[in-house]
Amino acid sequence: MDEFIQSVIRQLGISEEQGRAATAGVLKVIREKLDDSSFSSLMDQLPGAQGLVSQADAAPQGLSSGGGGLLGSLTSMAGSLLGGSDSMAAQVTKTLAESGLGIDKVAGFIGMLVSYLKEKLGAEAFESLAKQIPDLIGRNK
């Protein structure tokens, strides 16, 4: 995952802390949507991903204010447009905003993550994952 994070830092112009927080946050959202076996298999195919998620689980919550102010409003609006606040796309958007990514960088981050997953997983495993989390990957295939 370090290779992905470094790429995101360079291409999106974000800090390493933001890159790590965003990546871990999205992996945690994916974990909520997959069964344990599928998530474990995904982690096995992404070197460093499990450690990143474990660090995020152990870290204190809340570098963000909980979504208030203008950013909270924009995130809420984006969530509504993406299928409501319970949709995976809305959860990912909220997670990315809370990690410090501007709303203008969300699509770029997701596109880069999808490309990275395609590369690391291979066609068959990627298609299987896309079927399990279509609101995140299905739109970006």
pTM: 0.81
127, 135, 125: which is closest to 26 by C-alpha? Answer: 135
Provide the pLDDT for residue 108.
94
Provide the pLDDT for residue 67.
44
Provide the pLDDT for residue 60.
67
Residue boundaries of the structural domains of the chain: 2-135
pLDDT band, very low/low/confident/very high, at 27 (cuts 50, 70, 90) = very high
- Write the CA distances from 26 to 52, 69, 95, 99, integer angstroms: 11, 22, 7, 10
Q: Is 136 exposed, middle or buried (0-12, 13-18, 19+ CB in 10 A)?
A: buried
Provide the pLDDT for residue 86.
61
Provide the pLDDT for residue 65.
38
Instruction: Find all residues with CB under 8 Å of 94, minimum gap 6, and list them.
Output: 67, 75, 79
Task: Provide CATH code, domain 2-135.
Answer: 1.10.490
Residue 131: how many CB atoms within 10 A of its CB? 10
What are the tens digits of pLDDT across the range 80-128?
A: 444 444 688 889 989 999 999 998 999 999 999 999 999 999 999 999 9
Is-contact 56 48, C-beta < 8 A? no
What are the tens digits of pLDDT across the range 40-91?
A: 999 999 999 999 999 888 876 544 434 444 444 454 444 444 444 468 888 9
Is-contact 56 95, C-beta < 8 A? no
